[in-house]
Amino acid sequence: MTVLELVPLHTPADFADWFRPGADYVVRVADGMGFPTGDLPALADEAEAAMRANRTGRDVAVEVARTIVADLLADAAYGPPFLEWTPLWYELALTGPTYYAGWRLRRVARKYADTLDHVSVPRFSRPRDVLYEGRPAIHRVSGFADTFAFADAITHLEWFDYVATECGLPVPPELVARTREETVAYYVGEKEMEDLTPTVRRFQHLLFTDDVWAREVNRRYDIDSALFRLWERICTRERRRFDPRG
């Protein structure tokens, strides 16, 4: 994956195929957890249609605009913090595309944000922000795949919480806090999978369906990225590990 593959992407229509897998992810996780999704599935359809038609601003309903802005801003902000968790070879390979994609995503999001009375800025954890016994928890995790999985387990929880909340879905804050705590304990080796609260395990199982997101973006944009396929494989492995059905 290179910056050159992202250069042609300028308009909302160009990013409709980026938006849709993220919107589907929010609905899939919320449905699996039993969170009421309200009008979100229909709003996602409307949002995709608006983007494909390059309709922006006052040409779309406020609820539709909010759905688009939440998804695109979260993706724009996600990459740089996540890369800090990864080894240098992975970070160097994706730094250029990540920052360029973030810039493009923010430009498109602004076309929809103008009609909103408030837009919050998503923030994602860096390794220094996730502590265990007073030290960065990442120091207790070894190997590329496990470190990558740990980073994803923390940041996709934050991504879902932000986007779902911005879209008006009721995400219990106590569940988010407990999931973060137990996830850290699992990856540093202080908890076994069987020790996790069943709800936390189910939540992470669903959150790791971001393997579908990686596969869909890779396919829809014909990127054919080995790094995206690696991301997908690791998430698929973790999704199966967290599967409550064993």
pLDDT tens-digit series, residues 43-74: 999 999 999 999 998 899 999 999 999 999 99
The chain-wide mean pLDDT, for the chain, equals 94
Q: Do the domain assignments include residue 76?
A: yes
Opening angle at CA 33, ends 199 and 44, nearest 5: 150
Confidence (pLDDT) at 96: 86
Q: Do the domain assignments include residue 4?
A: no
Domain that residue 56 falls in: 10-116+127-242
Q: Do the domain assignments include residue 159?
A: yes
Res 2 pLDDT > 70 = no
Q: Residues 125, 64, 9, 122: what is their CA dihedral angle, to the nearest 10 degrees?
A: -10
Q: Do the domain assignments include residue 2?
A: no
160 neighbors 26 (Cβ within 8 angstroms): yes
Q: Do the domain assignments include residue 158?
A: yes
Enumerate residues 6+ apart whose C-beta is below 8 A from 178.
197, 199, 200
Confidence (pLDDT) at 6: 61
pTM value is 0.95
What's the rounded mean pLDDT across residues 12-37?
97
Q: Do the domain assignments include residue 5?
A: no
Q: Do the domain assignments include residue 122?
A: no
Q: Do the domain assignments include residue 1?
A: no
Confidence of residue 225 (pLDDT cuts 50, 70, 90): confident
What's the domain count of the chain? Answer: 1
Distances (CA, A) of 35 to 166, 170, 199, 243: 14, 7, 13, 19
Report how far residue 146's alpha carbon sits from residue 40's, in angstroms, rounded to the nearest whole number. Answer: 33
Q: What is the torsional sign of CA 136, 132, 186, 81?
A: negative
| Tokens coding 178 | 């407990």
Report how far residue 4's alpha carbon sits from residue 196's, in angstroms, rounded to the nearest whole number. Answer: 43
